[in-house]
Every structure is written in structure tokens, then in C-alpha cells.
Amino acid sequence: MVGFYVPDFRRSRNQCRERRMSDIIKARSWDLVSLLLMNFIWAGTYPATALALISLSAPLLTMIRLGTGSVVMMPFLWRSVRSWSLSMVVRVTFLGIVGFSLPLVLQTQGLKLSTPAMAAISIALEPLFTAAMASLWLKQPLSKARRWALIVAIGGAWAVAGFPRPGVKGYILGDSLLLLAVVCFAVYNVFSSSLSRYLGPGEATAGTFLGGFVGTVPIWLFSGAQLPLHWKVPSIMATIYLALLGTAVAYFLWMHTASRISVALMALFLYLQPVLGVLLSLLFIPTHVGWSFVAGSLAILLALYMGRDRLQKS
């Protein structure tokens, strides 16, 4: 009697489904690590910016950051730039100016004229604007749970910052500049996701860096083309941190993650920056941490849990 092998298609389908779910969970784990790392780096850019501004002007610091990022990421750009259409060049340049040139200059100048607490609040508004724009322009669903998560996270960030109020003590100009920077960052956050899916994270990051650098040059020239007369060591170290980690590495991680998960989920993780910023300052400057910081941190963690993605089996 001859035996015939009958494959178990049901078991094969189950194994494929389990393997696919395992790959998704593994990918999500790396995405979460990238989100945490980039927000940790960005949290350090605020004290670093304050140190860099001792020797540099806001436009020059922005130009150095974007110029360094362009050079570091140039190998990615060189591979595909010859095949770009004119519309793609215009799109990348526009996104570089709106997402880098304008907001970095505005944010740097705003930090100089306002307070660190209001800078933390501006960080809290960025995820809200990003999620709202993604829902409106990209038609990404903003669930009821994520809406509540955004509200809870805003309250938590406000508590972490010590409940500051805009315009207090005559800082209205600096607060306005920070708000404008947040709007520009939100526009970049939304449209960088589609750009990174089309070009790839490396090419998209390099292209927007270069566009932002080109857009910053006239801003620097118009502001007087100031050059530092004396470089101080803390300013040099802070500028290196901002150029390499705070710009090239962090924004590449953003582009890489934006090509894989929704912008709304990424926006929630931006709320970690105020918490991480305070924790980083504790390492260098003795700072009293009160109940508002603890309560705000717990609220932000709760918001991240509320707004998490739920993997559904199919």
C-alpha cells in the first residue's frame, strides 16, 4: 500500500500567522527603542542650545546644525538624487525650509527670549498639532482613546514644567516664536512620513537637511551674518552635540520610524521630552523635583499607555 503525504494547510497557516505576529512585535520593539532614543537626544538639545547661544547667534547655530547633518547624510542622498524630478526637488526643499530653517531659528531665538518652562509647554503642543494635522490631512484615524491620551499628556507636560503661563513676565515675544516653531515642526512631522516612505529614511533626511541649510543661509545673511568672536569650550561641545546627535542622528531615527508606524503614535512619545529634560538637568544642575513633576510624569506615562497601538490578529 502506497502512502500519500497530505500537508496540514491549517497548521501551516497558523505558523505563518504566528511568525508574522512575531516579526511585527519585534519591529515594534525596535521602533519603540528608536522613539525613546530620539526623544532622549532631543531632550538634551534644550540645555545644549542655551550653552551654544553663548557664542553663536540663532541663525548661525541652525546653519551649522543643518550643514553638518547634510554632510553626514550626503551618502544617502547621492545614491538617488540624480533620478529626482523637479517637483520632488521643490517638495524636499520646501519641507526642509518649513521643517528645519524656520522652526530651528524661531525655537532657538524663542528659547533666548522666553523661559525653559515655556519651551517645555511648546513641546507639549507639538504632539497635539501633529496628531490633529495627521488626522486632517493624512486621514489617519485619531481614536477616542488617543484623543483622551493627548489631553492627559498635555496636562502632564504642563505639570512637569511647573504650570507656567504664556506671556508672564514680559516673555510674550519669545512665547510667540516658540509657538510658531511648533506649528512648523508639526507640518514637518506630518509630511515627513509620506516622504520617507517614498524616498526612504536616509534620502528623505538628507534632502530636507540640505534644503533647510540652503534656506537658512539667507536668514543668516539678513540677520547680519554674525560670526563668533570667541569660542568657549561649553559652546563648542554643545554645538557638536546639536549638530551630530540632535540633528543628524535624531532626525534620521524620526524618518526611519515615521516610515513604519503612524504619526499619531509617534506624536505621543514627544511628551517624554519634558520629563527627560528635567531628568537630564538633574545630572548636571542640582534641581528640586516637586510633586508636580512626579504627577506630570505619571500622567504622561498613562497617556502613552492609553494611546498605544493594539496589535490585532488577523
Residue 64 has pLDDT above 90, yes or no: yes
Q: Mean of the per-residue pLDDT values for the chain?
A: 77
Quote the pLDDT of residue 18: 43
* Cell, residue 65: 546644525
Query: Hunting for cell 492627559 — which residue is that?
Result: 152
Q: For the residues 28-38, what does the mean pLDDT come to? A: 80
For residues 185 and 171, which has the higher predicted lDDT (pLDDT)?
A: 185
Triad 54, 172, 149: Cα angle to 5°: 95
Q: How many of the other CB atoms lie within 10 Å of CB of 113?
A: 16
Please report the pLDDT score of residue 188 as a whole number: 87
Reduce the DSSP state of residue 69 to 3 states and report it.
helix
Q: Torsions phi, psi of 71, nearest 5? A: -65, -45
Q: Which residue has the higher pLDDT, 62 or 135?
A: 62
pLDDT tens digits along 250-284: 988 888 887 777 776 777 777 777 777 777 666 66
CB atoms within 10 A of CB 292: 15
The residue ranges of every structural domain in the chain are 42-141+165-261
Predicted TM-score (pTM) above 0.75: no
Cα gap 219→225, rounded to integer Å: 9
- Distance (Å, whole) CA 258 – CA 34: 10
Q: Residue 259 belongs to what H/E stretch?
A: none
Task: Quote the pLDDT of residue 82.
Answer: 67
C-alpha span between 210 and 72 (Å, rounded) = 11
Please say if the pLDDT value at position 62 is more than 80: yes
- Supply φ then ψ for residue 63, to 5 degrees: -65, -40
Query: For residue 164, is it left (φ>0), alpha (ψ between -120 and 50) or beta?
Result: beta
Q: What is the pLDDT of residues 139-174, one digit of tens each?
A: 777 777 777 887 887 788 778 777 777 666 657 788
Per-residue pLDDT of 231-242, as tens digits, reads 888 899 999 999
pLDDT tens-digit readout, 106-131: 888 887 787 766 776 776 677 778 87
Percent of residues, the chain, with pLDDT higher than 70: 78
